[in-house]
Amino acid sequence: MLKGIDPALNAELLYALMLMGHGDQLVLCDINHPAQTIAKQTTYGRLIDVSGCGLTRAAEAILTLFPLDTFVDAPVKRMQVVGDPEGQVPIFAAMQAVVDRSEGRAVLIEPLERFAFYEAAKKSFAIVRTSDPGPYGCFIFSKGVC
């Protein structure tokens, strides 16, 4: 145990966060996302699991160390509801609250169509899979500078 580091952040996740630079992207997803398949195509090249942790809890922990990019309009992206691009599920509002609280301001979260999200995820630095059952718990965070 280390002082000041949230216990939800395991050693592998901390290592990946340290490797990331400005503009690199981190995918945080629920248990339903094809994370293992897509993770092989990321810069990190393998999946990071935070078993036993839900999406908002993982995001809260990550965002204690991870500054969001202020040089882009939408430093967070999420997957749209299939067949209902304007559709909302509870995790969208919950994640918006976590992100806004962590940054101390309103942060734009951009919706992406399912397959566009998968393509963006393949270009990310790493994928972090939570134990959250979903649905639509798929987010991409762009890293900024402190």
DSSP state, 68? B
Terminal CA-CA length for the chain: 24
**Known catalytic residue: 22?**
yes
Of the residues 22, 30, 73, 136, only one is catalytic, namely 22
**Known catalytic residue: 69?**
yes
Task: Report the side by side order of strands in the sheet with 25-29.
Answer: 48-50, 126-130, 25-29, 138-142, 76-79, 109-112
Of the residues 24, 30, 44, 118, only one is catalytic, namely 118
**Known catalytic residue: 118?**
yes
Reference 74, options 146, 127, 140; nearest CA is 140
Of the residues 30, 49, 69, 132, only one is catalytic, namely 69
> Annotated active-site positions, please?
22, 69, 118
